[in-house]
Amino acid sequence: MPDPVRGEVLGVFVVPKLGAEITEEEVIQHIRKALGPVAVVGRVVILAKLPKTRTGKVMRRVLRAYASGQPLGDLSTLEEQEALEELKKALGRQVG
């Protein structure tokens, strides 16, 4: 994600296992422990599902574009529109 001071920081999109409860702070602590202090997390977004293609691959370019405020581009291979709607609610921006 764009950051005015560092240039870019991590934007983390998390889908917890069914029935698992997780907080943004737990995710940040885990990343800091695993990657060290060099990993600066800008935002943690906890979702029920990620936007995926029909073959099941996560559409990382869509997540990256949405987090940076860029156009989403071609969404013809998007499997479920609900994932984008949830992302829109989580980040509080207009999808399009």
Would you give per-residue pLDDT tens digits along the chain (96 residues)?
A: 888 898 889 989 999 999 999 999 999 999 999 999 888 998 899 999 999 999 999 999 999 888 888 888 899 999 888 888 888 888 775 444
Contact 90, 45 (CB under 8 A): yes
Which residue ranges make up each domain of the chain? 1-46, 49-96
pTM of the model: 0.79
Distinct helix (H) and strand (E) counts, the chain: 3, 4
